[in-house]
Structure 1
């Protein structure tokens, strides 16, 4: 199995007292969390906003949050990078209770839709529009009916659908995600 890649930089900009653009911070993301122990994905929380339109402060502060949260704040956005290690037997053998516990560790146990006969044990759904960009490697997007393998440079627009990510490549896959809070219409249950 490949080792995780070097952590990336997060450059945050702002304004000085004269209103000129400056760099506020230039460092790796502050909040990083391994989910589920060895063999689980690593989440790098980049930034989130609390509302739309987002308030733009002269000196932006690190967004404060208690622990990892799967979805963005209500009416907000979230950006994260996830490193998915190759999927092993331990993932394929997860029960519904195990899957719910993994999503609970991500702050949203209710997102888990794991059930007997599901196409993947880590199926989940959130009321969000997610833009997923493969930065390195490849991964398979698993849906209720169908799947697609996406490669470096490919982009997924995930519109509140039930899904899972399966890394069947044997190498780490690194993806960037931008999540936008959403709401299902009456036609979607």
Structure 2
């Protein structure tokens, strides 16, 4: 399998005269392979710490040194994930293995894996997520049902229990924008 080309992250800001400038033009600063060979690679693109987001003249994202699954409280997060084709090393994960993988992403409590789960990497976060398939295809697995999405398709996740299964035989690259959220009182949460 060919290694995917790392993408550029262009960050804009302002100079001391208030003119728009490029602050940086390079691959994302933080990337992490989760779970070793056969696991997805997370590329942390950007995050904000509040809404409305504060716009700084010289934006900087150096406040996080490790992968954190959810966005900051009242903030947002954008990341790219490259999902390799799913193999037995993923399909045969135990609930404890799945919890350990989510712990390595900074959110062990997101894991909802159990013996009856439709996929071992089922998880749920208090977020609204926009997921855009940039390249390849992947299957979105929910508690009840699943659908395969392809390049150009967009998923709007509303705090749903889900997993991603790459059954295509090729890498799938997705962009995610995560927005911190709260469940309303009419939710049955598990």
Using the size of structure 1 for normalisation, the TM-score is 0.98
2:97 aligns with 98
**How far has the Cα of 1:126 moved from its partner?**
0.1
Paired residues of 2:81 and 2:174 also in contact (CA < 8 A): yes
Paired residues of 2:47 and 2:61 also in contact (CA < 8 A): no
2:107 aligns with 108
Is 2:189 the counterpart of 1:156? no
Choose 56-65 or 173-182, whichever is displaced more: 56-65
Structure 2 CA distance for aligned equivalents of residues 131 and 73 of structure 1: 16
2:157 aligned counterpart, secondary structure: strand
Q: What do residues 155-174 of structure 1 show as CA deviations (whole Å, max 9, x unaligned)? A: 00000000000000000000
Q: What do residues 103-158 of structure 1 show as CA deviations (whole Å, max 9, x unaligned)? A: 00000000000011110000000000000000000000000000010000000000
**How far has the Cα of 1:62 moved from its partner?**
2.1
Structure 2 CA distance for aligned equivalents of residues 3 and 130 of structure 1: 29
Structure 2 CA distance for aligned equivalents of residues 96 and 77 of structure 1: 28
Structure 1 CA distance for aligned equivalents of residues 97 and 169 of structure 2: 23
Paired residues of 2:49 and 2:73 also in contact (CA < 8 A): yes
Q: Any unmatched runs of 5+ in structure 1?
A: none
Structure 1 CA distance for aligned equivalents of residues 68 and 19 of structure 2: 33
Aligned residues: 188
Is 2:68 the counterpart of 1:69? yes
Structure 2 CA distance for aligned equivalents of residues 44 and 180 of structure 1: 17
Dislocated runs of 4+, deviation >4 Å = none
1:60 aligns with 59
Structure 2 CA distance for aligned equivalents of residues 112 and 62 of structure 1: 27
**How far has the Cα of 1:64 moved from its partner?**
1.2
2:143 aligns with 144
Structure 2 CA distance for aligned equivalents of residues 72 and 78 of structure 1: 5
**How far has the Cα of 1:61 moved from its partner?**
1.1
Paired residues of 2:10 and 2:23 also in contact (CA < 8 A): yes
1:101 aligned counterpart, secondary structure: helix
Structure 2 CA distance for aligned equivalents of residues 63 and 45 of structure 1: 11
Using the size of structure 2 for normalisation, the TM-score is 0.97
Is 2:16 the counterpart of 1:17? yes
Q: What RMSD over aligned residues (CA atoms) do the two structures have, in Å?
A: 0.7
Q: What do residues 16-52 of structure 1 show as CA deviations (whole Å, max 9, x unaligned)? A: 1111100000000000100000111000000000000
1:165 aligns with 164
Paired residues of 1:4 and 1:172 also in contact (CA < 8 A): no
